[in-house]
Amino acid sequence: MVQLSINQVTSKQWTLEEDAFYYRQFQFQGAGLWRFKVDDCGEEKTRAILDESELKASSLSFIGGFTGCERSWNEGVRDSIQALHSARELGAKNVILYTGSRNRHIYSNARRCVVKAIERILPIAQEFGIRLLLQPMLESVSKSWNFLHDWESVFEIIDRFPHESVGFVLNTYHVGYLSEIWDQLPNRVGQLGLVQISDSLTIPRSAKRRDDCLLGQGILMPDHRLRQLIRLGYSGWVEVELMGPTWGREGYQHVLEASQQFASELVGAFQKI
């Protein structure tokens, strides 16, 4: 059954305690955990806060950086293994992976670095029952941390691994300019690990930074396409992820309330299919 969660980047200036309190107040079932907040709070306290608020961890973001942009490949692998241990303690079954920038690598070598890293950490993820998730992202907002900018590049990597262990994220912000995924979904839904819903007033193509709008106010929420996911058998988390400077800390409650109302109606429609 599809459940509704919200990613902590949506309320990035709040503390983890504030997130948990308001997420439950606005009736989200889960939280997409952001490692920076988890690190600030500590794993033990984070787990206690989640348990007290009865929130589940829909995902943990992020691991990766395997192409030597700010650290070595070995450092990226060690950090990823540590994050997998955190994910197990926090009950997160989905861990989102950002490859790192291209740096000075040619594409084939950068891809090789990522594949080699996944091969190294995958046995640990499998032991913990955790799925590694990759996603293509708009280049202008992500090139410093993710060199995957099209679906072909994502599938070149994840097709090397078992579908139940390595999959992909479908984020409506980035799908806005990569719409061909909808035609591929019948053959790819088994690899879909997480749906993130965002919205924008325009189709992002060359934005320098994200400045999302409230769900339903933009053009990136194709209801008929999202219904397609359920018809194809998707039953995972639907995670609200809104980013940008538009509302600021003082506006988070309004963002949560509007997001919950829109997304719950959407998820409710899913359940009736």
Mean pLDDT of the chain: 91
Element (H, E) at 131: strand 131-134
Residue 272 pLDDT > 60, yes or no? no
**140-173: b (≥16 Cβ within 10 Å) or e:** ebbeebbbbbebebbbebbeebebebbbbbbbbb
Q: Are 141 and 105 in contact (CB under 8 A)?
A: no
CB-neighbour burial class of residue 243 (10 A; exposed 0-12, middle 13-18, buried 19+) = middle
Q: Are 260 and 3 in contact (CB under 8 A)?
A: no
**For residues 270 and 241, which has the higher predicted lDDT (pLDDT)?**
241
Identify residue 44 by its one-letter amino acid code. Answer: E
pLDDT-derived band at 270 (thresholds 50, 70, 90) equals low
pLDDT-derived band at 69 (thresholds 50, 70, 90) equals low
Phi, psi (deg, nearest 5) at residue 262: -65, -50
Residue 13: its pLDDT value, please? 92
Query: What is the pTM for the complete model shown?
Result: 0.94
Residue 188: its pLDDT value, please? 96
Strands 131-134 and 166-171 come out as parallel
Residue 168: its pLDDT value, please? 98
Mean pLDDT of 62-74: 86
pLDDT-derived band at 114 (thresholds 50, 70, 90) equals very high
Distance in angstroms (rounded) separating the CA atoms of residues 9 and 12? 5
Residue 273 pLDDT > 60, yes or no? no
Range from 1-10, 200-209, 236-245, 264-273 carrying the lowest mean pLDDT: 264-273
Dihedral sign for Cα 108, 147, 43, 29, please: negative
**For residues 136 and 225, which has the higher predicted lDDT (pLDDT)?**
136
Q: In this structure, what token pair is assigned to residue 32?
A: 């997409």
> What is the DSSP annotation of 58-73?
EEEEEEE-TTSSSS-H
Dihedral sign for Cα 59, 256, 260, 258, please: negative
Element (H, E) at 117: helix 107-128
Distance in angstroms (rounded) separating the CA atoms of residues 53 and 21? 7
Range from 22-36, 94-108, 122-136, 221-235 carrying the lowest mean pLDDT: 221-235
Q: In this structure, what token pair is assigned to residue 110?
A: 């950068």
Beta bridge partners of 131: 94
Residue 32 pLDDT > 70, yes or no? yes
Residue 70 pLDDT > 80, yes or no? no
Q: Domains in the chain, start-ordered, CATH in brackets?
A: 3-271 (3.20.20.150)
pLDDT-derived band at 222 (thresholds 50, 70, 90) equals low
Residue 35 pLDDT > 80, yes or no? yes
Range from 17-31, 169-183, 218-232 carrying the lowest mean pLDDT: 218-232
Beta bridge partners of 96: 61, 133
**69-86: b (≥16 Cβ within 10 Å) or e:** beeebeebbebbeebbeb
Phi, psi (deg, nearest 5) at residue 217: -90, -15
Mean pLDDT of 145-155: 94
pLDDT-derived band at 266 (thresholds 50, 70, 90) equals confident
Q: Are 106 and 69 in contact (CB under 8 A)?
A: no
pLDDT-derived band at 253 (thresholds 50, 70, 90) equals very high
Mean pLDDT of 12-17: 94
